[in-house]
Amino acid sequence: MTNDPTISRTIDTDVIRTDSAARTTHKPARLLSLDVLRGVTIGFMILVNNQTGEGAFFPLQHAKWNGFTPTDLVFPTFLLLVGLSTVLSTEARLARGVAKSTIFLHTLQRSAVLFLFGLIVNNAPFFHLQTLRVYGVLPRIAVCYFIVGSLYLLVRDLKQRAFILAAAAAACLVGYWALMRFIPIPGFGTPTHEIPINDPDGNLVAYIDRHIFSASHLYEKTRDPEGLLSTIPAVATALFGILAGIWLRTSRSTMQKAKGIEYAGISFLILGGAWHLAFPINKKLWTSSFSLWAGGWSLLLLALFIYLIDIHRFGRRKNDRADDPTHPTIYKPALVFGTNAIAAYMVSEVGDSLLSAIHVAPGVNIKRPYIQMLNHTISSTGLSSLIYSLTFVAVCWLIVYPLYRKRIFLKI
């Protein structure tokens, strides 16, 4: 999802394994499953981000605080795929003879552009300095991408690189837990003593964010779900993707790779579930238990998609290739989003902001009549909310589809 800063007409995730640990002519088979999973993730992200209110079906809402719903899986899955794609993209460029220093500068550039896109998405269409939100999904992706991309370049030629990266992920999770557990919060008390470790406002994440920005700059006024400190365990999630990318580039069979990812996913679920007892799963704080729990489900999804699409070739022709532009129809809806992920996300976020800002009458934005019509026609508020969000997904898909049809893939 991040390649040369140009408009590309090829999907650049085909990789030749040339790392110093194993310099062979082995060329891992391209995995169509990665693009499909990325597309499904983006499509579901747009769907859940555009529910119309509290009446939405429970699985399509974020957990209010502690806990987990399918909606909470979207962002960590996308972030894990960012890490995975970083390995594939980096190795492809190294195989073409691109210098590490050049790749690092491009990593820095792409991170800066992503961060800028995040500011646009967060604040469109008005951009008032008094309410400018800096934190957000794309800024967090930008920071995580820069950190893990730089770290991978740094340790890539070391024999123990996987161990070093796994240790870095563990340090992020344990270090974050220690900060949240042992540092007293002025005005609230010590976590697990005077206040719960995940107290909504009396936690270190919220305390730091309130002292960096005023309430008008935070998504939830007293805190922000993409705050500064909680980016630490999010980096661990991206590192899980880096490790998965390293694993997928080995010379093992596709079945062995899928099984390894499956076993890792199960292990993460066990660890995350156990840690939940002391440090509850919480997406808004991105707790260490959440990082493991969501990472486990993300890896299991990845393994499932590899099993179905790359191994059992469900819905595919006998001799098709993953880079074949004439993909089976069953995968095209996902690939439209998966091959232009950032473009699709920005279309959805900026589009919703514009629809909310354009008014057809005082206090009535342009999308309100359609929502009211659905609410009056359908007795179930959950179903009407789902129909509206599906309509919005379809419109976004139609906007992005011409890029896919013309084989234009926007790369930062």
Answer yes or no: is 1 within a domain: no
Please give the tally of structural domains in the chain.
1
pLDDT in tens, 8-61: 333 333 333 333 333 333 455 568 899 999 999 999 999 999 998 778 999 999
Q: Distance between CA 308 and CA 305 in Å, rounded?
A: 5
Residue 183: per-residue pLDDT: 96
- Bridge partners of 115, per DSSP, are none
- Bridge partners of 270, per DSSP, are none
Would you say 75 and 232 are in contact if contact means Cβ atoms under 8 Å apart?
no
Asked if the model's pLDDT at residue 409 lies above 90, the reply is: no
Q: CA 351, 291, 93, 405 torsion: positive or negative?
A: negative
Nearest to 217 by CA among 122, 131, 90: 131
What are the tokens at 310? 């790359």
Question: What residues contact residue 27 under an 8 Å CB cut-off, 6+ apart?
Answer: 15, 16, 17
Could you tell me the residue range of the domain that residue 241 belongs to? Answer: 7-410
Would you say 48 and 60 are in contact if contact means Cβ atoms under 8 Å apart?
yes
Answer yes or no: is 139 within a domain: yes
Nearest to 226 by CA among 301, 146, 104, 144: 144
What are the tokens at 253? 């069979």
Rounded to 10 degrees, the C-alpha dihedral 230/235/238/240 comes to: -100
Sequence letter at residue 93: R
Residue 307: per-residue pLDDT: 95
pLDDT band at residue 320 using 50, 70 and 90 as cut-offs: low
Nearest to 252 by CA among 408, 25, 6, 26: 26
Answer yes or no: is 16 within a domain: yes
Cα 9-87-111 angle, rounded to 5 deg: 75
Answer yes or no: is 319 within a domain: yes
Residue 4: per-residue pLDDT: 37
Would you say 91 and 15 are in contact if contact means Cβ atoms under 8 Å apart?
yes
Asked if the model's pLDDT at residue 190 lies above 60, the reply is: yes
pLDDT in tens, 144-158: 999 999 999 999 999
Question: What residues contact residue 230 under an 8 Å CB cut-off, 6+ apart?
Answer: 176, 205, 285, 286
Answer yes or no: is 113 within a domain: yes
DSSP codes of every residue in 190-215: -BTTTB-TT-SSSSHHHHHHHHHS-G
Would you say 374 and 388 are in contact if contact means Cβ atoms under 8 Å apart?
yes
Q: Which residue has the tokens 């998609």?
A: 305
Answer yes or no: is 2 within a domain: no
Percentage of residues in the chain having pLDDT higher than 90: 73
